[in-house]
Chain A
Amino acid sequence: MEIHDPVAQRILLISALYVFALAAFLGYQVISRVPPLLHTPLMSATNAISGISLVGSIVMAGGNYPKVCTILGFIAVVCSTTNVVGGFVITDRMLRMFKRKDIAKKD
């Protein structure tokens, strides 16, 4: 939904800043609780999650825009999808390896 009314745009901008600030605080709280043990999976997980920029790329690749935009959007879709799929697959793979003592001994 494109909004062209300047007042509405200002409101949108301010609410976006609120979201940013709150997400920053939340991020700090959530991330600082992750133990060093899981720092590598954390990095690949946040990587996969930030592949959400896919939602921007999809609209760019499929919208009725100049050819250049479609091409750039397409490349962006490929890049972000690689990150999303690869990131989640690897994170799952890593997390499956972290085993409790009783389970690890059985293998």
Chain B
Amino acid sequence: MFQFYFIEFSYLLASICFILGLKGMSHPETAKRGMHLAEFGMLLAIIGTLMHHEIASYTWILIGLAVGSLVGLAMGVWVPMTAMPQRTALSHAFGAFAAALVGISEFYRFGGHLETRFLMGALGFEVMLGALTTTGSLLAFAKLQGLVRGTPMTYKGQNIFNMLLLAATIGIFVYLIVVPGSMPLFFTMVGLAFVFGLLLVMPIGSADMPVVMSLLNSYAGLASAATGFVLSNKVLIIAGTLDGFSGFILSILMCRAMNRSMTNVLFGAFGSAASVTAGAEQHGAMREVGLEDIATQLAYANKVVFVPGYGLATAQAQHVVRELADVLEKRGVTVKYGIHPVAGRMPGHMNVLLAEANVPYSSLYELEQINPEFPTTDVAVVIGANDVVNPDARDNPGSPIAGMPILEVDRSRSVVVLKRGQGKGFSGLENPLFFKPVTGMLYGDAKDTLTRLVQAVQHA
């Protein structure tokens, strides 16, 4: 009996620690303490579990814990901040795979005859969500890492095919609940779910990754919660649900930040050739400006706002931006950063990069906070961002991104756009900002351009 209470209380305490830990996340100052609490909770839960009476041998458990800790530690210490989206995608895959495996072995252990239909239902959810999240996340990882092209992969009848496959998977699932016990059918269902995960992520372009990441986050959490139902383990239900809802809320926020519905993101194959034609052709030419001119403008400005995008991450330019900001601030220039919710490849991507470069978080401004400031901004510097500053979203109702909230850099007195080349952004849309009279273009690698700007400002 003592053992039972010890385990259950360790789980209860762990649940409380997790909730308080996440509550700490509401502010950067309390977040660290919160996480230590969550870590403590995790340790408690693991120690509690090790006392479980059904455990007959510790060999494989200990080897597994050791291997996992080593891999996790290595990943944790060495993964650069720029690779955070890939790392997160990979960990969604791991978490979901673990849930799927526990479900499969639970099914196998009972020979397919679980005690109640409800348990079979929960187990089915666990395994299906786990399986599709595993392959989906792995494909997202491959896209983010550049192993696979980031553009949407589409073919004729794709949505219908996916729907049919999903229907078949769910059909088998329902059959297994009504008529339990078929091993081959169960494994067919698992296989189909693995395939469906790939098909789900295939048509989604890199620019929509923040939504997909959040959604996969949500699925992985719900798979864990379903595991909790199967094992009737409350801490699993609580932690899984918190994770699931966190991902769900984030995906809604990301969709809202793009003014698009979830269905549109998942099935719209945004950024494929078909959707580009709607943009009006631009007239006039982009104005290329000299580095020295920009340096002078920056040096004698009162207020400068940096607007980073995914290009900042690819160029690894976060540290140089901070250097430039330091040089400017020393001259008395007010420097702020405007961060769009979907800038980058995952929620909060830009904030982490800039924090890494030692930019104080009080200089990082959200969309609603920074937009009223642009009319009083002397120079807005756009670094590797495109769609999030596209004025078409505001001015052209026919644009595919119409209604998407943007950072209104075109309202500032002068705009400088740092861009790799003259090509279009990920969505393939024309950006009228680049053709406006206030806008000057600086082509080249962002890191290199910024380094030269720092020197030029110092001599200005």
Task: Give me the interface of A with B, judged by CB distance under 8 Å.
Answer: 1, 3-4, 9, 12-13, 16, 19-20, 23-24, 26-28, 30-66, 68-70, 72-101, 103-105, 107
**A-B CB pair tally, cutoff 8 Å:** 371
Residues of B contacting A107 in the complex (Cβ-Cβ under 8 angstroms): 358
Checking B22, B67, B240 against A30 with a beta-carbon cut-off of 8 angstroms, the contacting residue is B22
Q: A-facing mask of B205-247, CB < 8 A → 1, else 0?
A: 0000000011001001100110111011111111111111111
Interface of A is mostly: helix
Query: Which of A23, A64, A107 has the most chain B CB atoms inside 10 A of its CB?
Result: A23
Provide 5 A-B residue pairs closer than 8 Å at the C-beta atoms, listed in order of the A residue. Answer: A42-B250, A49-B18, A53-B98, A72-B102, A80-B98
Contact: B56 with A64, CB < 8 Å?
yes
Residues of B contacting A51 in the complex (Cβ-Cβ under 8 angstroms): 42, 95, 98
Residues of B contacting A3 in the complex (Cβ-Cβ under 8 angstroms): 232
Checking A23, A38, A68, A87 against B242 with a beta-carbon cut-off of 8 angstroms, the contacting residue is A23
Contact: A23 with B358, CB < 8 Å?
no
* B residues 54-82 touching A (CB-CB < 8 Å): 54-58, 60-61, 63-65, 67-69, 71-73, 75-77, 79, 81
Residue of A nearest to B221 (CB): A50
Contact: A47 with B220, CB < 8 Å?
yes
Q: Answer whether A42 and B25 are a contact pair too, CB < 8 Å, given A52-B45, A59-B55, A98-B361.
A: yes
For residue B280, CB closer than 8 A to chain A, the reply is no
Minimum CB–CB distance for A84 against chain B, Å: 6
Residues of B contacting A50 in the complex (Cβ-Cβ under 8 angstroms): 95, 220-221, 224, 239-240, 242-243
Q: Answer whether A74 and B60 are a contact pair too, CB < 8 Å, given A39-B347, A79-B95, A88-B39.
A: yes
Contact: B225 with A20, CB < 8 Å?
yes
For residue B19, CB closer than 8 A to chain A, the reply is yes
Task: Give me the interface of B with A, judged by CB distance under 8 Å.
Answer: 4, 11, 14, 18-19, 21-23, 25-29, 31-32, 35, 38-39, 42, 45-46, 48-50, 52, 54-58, 60-61, 63-65, 67-69, 71-73, 75-77, 79, 81, 84, 87-88, 91-92, 94-95, 97-99, 101-102, 104-106, 108-109, 115-116, 118, 213-214, 217, 220-221, 224-225, 227-229, 231-247, 249-250, 253, 339, 341, 346-349, 351-352, 355-356, 358-364, 366
Q: Answer whether A80 and B91 are a contact pair too, CB < 8 Å, given A65-B105, A75-B101, A85-B72.
A: no
Contact: B233 with A93, CB < 8 Å?
no
Contact: B54 with A63, CB < 8 Å?
yes
Query: Which of B67, B76, B225, B231 has the most chain A CB atoms inside 10 A of its CB?
Result: B76
Q: In the complex the two chains form, what is the Cα distance from A25 to B348 in whole Å? A: 23
Residue of B nearest to A102 (CB): B360
Contact: A55 with B235, CB < 8 Å?
yes
Residue of B nearest to A9 (CB): B116
Residue of A nearest to B95 (CB): A83
Contact: A59 with B54, CB < 8 Å?
yes
Contact: A13 with B118, CB < 8 Å?
yes
Q: In the complex the two chains form, what is the Cα distance from A39 to B67 in whole Å? A: 29
Q: In the complex the two chains form, what is the Cα distance from A32 to B35 in whole Å? A: 17
Contact: A58 with B49, CB < 8 Å?
yes
Contact: B348 with A40, CB < 8 Å?
yes
19 other A-B residue contacts (CB within 8 Å) besides A36-B253, A49-B18: A9-B116, A26-B19, A33-B26, A36-B366, A39-B347, A41-B348, A54-B46, A60-B102, A60-B106, A79-B94, A81-B65, A81-B67, A86-B75, A93-B77, A94-B355, A98-B31, A99-B358, A100-B28, A100-B361
Contact: A49 with B243, CB < 8 Å?
yes
Checking B73, B101, B108, B355 against A66 with a beta-carbon cut-off of 8 angstroms, the contacting residue is B108
Residues of A contacting B355 in the complex (Cβ-Cβ under 8 angstroms): 94, 97-99
Residues of A contacting B69 in the complex (Cβ-Cβ under 8 angstroms): 81-82, 85
Checking B46, B49, B348 against A39 with a beta-carbon cut-off of 8 angstroms, the contacting residue is B348
Minimum CB–CB distance for B336 against chain A, Å: 12
Q: In the complex the two chains form, what is the Cα distance from A26 to B233 in whole Å? A: 18
Contact: A69 with B109, CB < 8 Å?
yes
Cβ-closest 8 pairs across A and B: A81-B68, A89-B76, A85-B72, A39-B348, A77-B64, A86-B72, A27-B245, A39-B347
Contact: A78 with B101, CB < 8 Å?
no
Q: In the complex the two chains form, what is the Cα distance from A72 to B214 in whole Å? A: 27
Checking A9, A24, A52, A63 against B235 with a beta-carbon cut-off of 8 angstroms, the contacting residue is A52
Q: Answer whether A62 and B99 are a contact pair too, CB < 8 Å, given A40-B352, A45-B22, A86-B75.
A: no
Minimum CB–CB distance for B50 against chain A, Å: 7
Residues of A contacting B104 in the complex (Cβ-Cβ under 8 angstroms): 72
Checking B11, B39, B55, B118 against A58 with a beta-carbon cut-off of 8 angstroms, the contacting residue is B55
Minimum CB–CB distance for B105 against chain A, Å: 4
Q: In the complex the two chains form, what is the Cα distance from A68 to B352 in whole Å? A: 42
Q: Answer whether A43 and B101 are a contact pair too, CB < 8 Å, given A52-B224, A54-B49, A62-B61.
A: no
Residues of B contacting A61 in the complex (Cβ-Cβ under 8 angstroms): 60-61, 64
Contact: B63 with A59, CB < 8 Å?
no
